[in-house]
Amino acid sequence: AQTVTQSQPEMSVQEAETVTLSCTYDTSENNYYLFWYKQPPSRQMILVIRQEAYKQQNATENRFSVNFQKAAKSFSLKISDSQLGDTAMYFCAFMNNFNKFYFGSGTKLNVKP
Amino acid sequence: DVKVTQSSRYLVKRTGEKVFLECVQDMDHENMFWYRQDPGLGLRLIYFSYDVKMKEKGDIPEGYSVSREKKERFSLILESASTNQTSMYLCASSLLGANTEAFFGQGTRLTVV
């Protein structure tokens, strides 16, 4: 079974600063996909960034980037130049070879003005 | 635009009632999911369907059943609602295969009284 662990229930960051959200996972599969999803107060889940496990290069998407350490089974999300609109719950997710998605418990990020 | 639509945003039901949560996607996706979201627990998979009339139990299927008679529609059924099923329910869909992501509905907040 796959498990996804987010050890930071809540974090705060000042506007324009950088914050890193942590995620670890456990799997015996060699090829898989990892995701970060954002859930703002509207409740609509939005994909932030995706990483394919067989790609060594870390994914980036504008102000969002990941630090993927396959051997350590770690997948952290870095948000640069934080904006008020980044305030949301962030979920780390793992997709296995059978297309099942497993999610962590979430990190509530609060961006302060 | 990709769309996953859940029939209700808020629902209040009485203990013992049979409850139907409906989800429709317009993307011709093979996979559909039902998750339950609780604070501190993240998203937990209830049921997964990879084709019409096909289903697999997730991590917490007890007290729930599902129906997928058409590709675009995936229903979650609470046979006899209980107060411990008060929660946020999220439906998602995805394409079959590796290069995919989960698309979510807006969620149904169910309260069982």
Question: Where along chain B do its domains lie?
Answer: 4-112
Cα separation, B84 vs B104, whole angstroms: 23
Cα separation, B15 vs B12, whole angstroms: 10
Q: According to the model, what pLDDT value does residue A1 have?
A: 66
CATH entry, A3-112, from 2.40.30.260, 3.30.1540.20, 2.60.40.10, 3.30.10.20: 2.60.40.10
* Closest to A11 (Cα-Cα) out of A66, A88, A64, A72: A88
pLDDT along chain A (113 residues), means of 10: 91 98 93 95 94 90 95 96 97 92 96 97
Q: According to the model, what pLDDT value does residue B2 have?
A: 67
Contacts of B50 in chain A (CB under 8 A): 99
Cβ-Cβ contacts under 8 Å between A and B: the total is 53
Residues B4-112, CATH architecture: Sandwich (2.60)
How near does any CA of chain B get to the CA of A37, in Å?
10
**B106 phi-psi bin (left φ>0, alpha ψ -120 to 50, beta other):** alpha
b/e sequence A42-52, b meaning 16+ C-beta within 10 Å: ebebeebbbbb
Q: According to the model, what pLDDT value does residue A30 have?
A: 84
Residue B92, classed as helix, strand or coil, is strand
Q: According to the model, what pLDDT value does residue B98 have?
A: 76
Residues of chain B scoring pLDDT < 50? none
Q: Taking CB atoms and an 8 Å limit, are B107 and A43 in contact across chains?
A: yes
